[in-house]
């Protein structure tokens, strides 16, 4: 099977934060930055939480307004810091490019094709695209209205893009990647989320149909999420179904491990795909 991109990776917001210091986890940024190279498409959450922490540092308190307005303001403040931090640690010989996407970009074939072509140009131009959902200009009420209108008009497979796990899976399908890596603050998918010893090493099968059945069985074991608004493990498993269908190998792992070790099976992780 032919793939056009080697790796699409995604890291969650809380995986980039040092909770003890209430600050960015610069060690993770440094390790990831050393491993990113042209040919990798990177999806990075974190702007909203980073913006919130930066605002607190400067003002001594959190924003008091509407939750959606706060999310907009925090994400706009955090985006610059997020990209600056990646630039600090990625090989200076490589270009990096920020890409902010919304649900509308994936519900329009012309826009999808525009993004696809851009991502392929990044490979040719030795650039690493860093993709994030554009929280600064998109808000929930408006998104719901737009999604409802698309469904009413007969849209098939309407994309909602509620978080970056979905974004990463959509990008994986868009560029037909060989591997999809989802980095989180835990080691993978557990039979019992409260017991780290119950890590599921692999969700596999002899063919796509068996893999999908096993994904459904594992979804029933998942509950909870790392933060308010996140979908959690069950949502991750739902989103990765489409990449798995096209033959992509999916890895869900802790961001404390190196990308190389995860992909080579030297670190704890959950592998998902056809055996």
The reported pLDDT for the residue numbered 224 is: 52
Q: DSSP assignment of 60-89, as one string?
A: SS---S-HHHHHHHHHHHHHHHHHHHHHHH
Model confidence at 135, pLDDT cuts 50, 70, 90, reads: confident
For the segment 150-160, the average pLDDT, to the nearest whole number, is: 75
How far, in Å, CA of 148 to CA of 138, rounded?
Answer: 15
5-274: CATH class: alpha beta
The CB density around residue 96, as the number of other CB atoms within 10 Å, is: 19
For the segment 104-128, the average pLDDT, to the nearest whole number, is: 95
Give the list of residues 6+ apart from residue 178 with CB closer than 8 angstroms, or none: 3, 5, 6, 7, 248, 249
Contact between residue 270 and residue 252 where contact means Cβ atoms under 8 Å apart: yes
Model confidence at 250, pLDDT cuts 50, 70, 90, reads: very high
| Residue range 165-213, pLDDT digits in tens | 999 999 999 999 999 999 999 999 999 988 999 999 999 999 999 999 9
Residue 162 has pLDDT above 80, yes or no: no
For the segment 245-266, the average pLDDT, to the nearest whole number, is: 97
Please report, for the chain, the start and end positions of each structural domain, with discontinuous segments joined by +: 5-274
Model confidence at 154, pLDDT cuts 50, 70, 90, reads: low
The reported pLDDT for the residue numbered 223 is: 67
Name which of 91-100, 190-199, 222-231 the model is least confident about.
Answer: 222-231
């Amino acid at each position: 099977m032919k793939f056009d991109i080697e790796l699409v990776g995604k890291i969650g917001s809380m995986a980039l934060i040092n909770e003890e210091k209430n600050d960015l986890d610069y060690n993770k940024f440094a390790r990831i930055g050393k491993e990113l190279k042209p040919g990798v498409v990177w999806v990075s959450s974190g702007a909203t939480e980073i913006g919130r922490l930066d605002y607190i540092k400067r003002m001594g308190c959190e924003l008091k307004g509407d939750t959606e307005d706060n999310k907009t303001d925090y994400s706009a403040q955090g985006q610059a810091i997020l990209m600056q931090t990646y630039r600090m640690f990625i090989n200076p010989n490589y270009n990096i490019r920020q890409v902010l996407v919304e649900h509308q970009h994936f519900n329009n074939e012309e826009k999808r094709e525009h993004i696809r072509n851009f991502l392929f140009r990044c490979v040719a131009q030795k650039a690493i695209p860093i993709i994030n959902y554009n929280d600064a200009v998109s808000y929930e009420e408006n998104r719901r209205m737009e999604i409802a209108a698309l469904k009413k008009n007969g849209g098939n497979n309407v994309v909602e893009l509620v978080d970056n796990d979905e974004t990463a899976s959509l990008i994986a399908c868009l560029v037909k990647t060989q591997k999809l890596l989802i980095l989180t603050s835990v080691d993978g998918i557990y039979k019992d989320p409260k017991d780290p010893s119950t890590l599921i090493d692999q969700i596999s099968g002899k063919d796509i149909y068996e893999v999908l059945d096993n994904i459904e069985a594992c979804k029933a074991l998942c509950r909870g999420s790392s933060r308010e608004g996140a979908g959690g493990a069950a949502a991750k498993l739902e989103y990765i179904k489409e990449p798995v269908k096209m033959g992509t190998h999916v890895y869900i792992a802790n961001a404390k491990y190196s990308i190389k070790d995860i992909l080579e099976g030297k670190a704890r992780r959950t592998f998902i795909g056809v055996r």
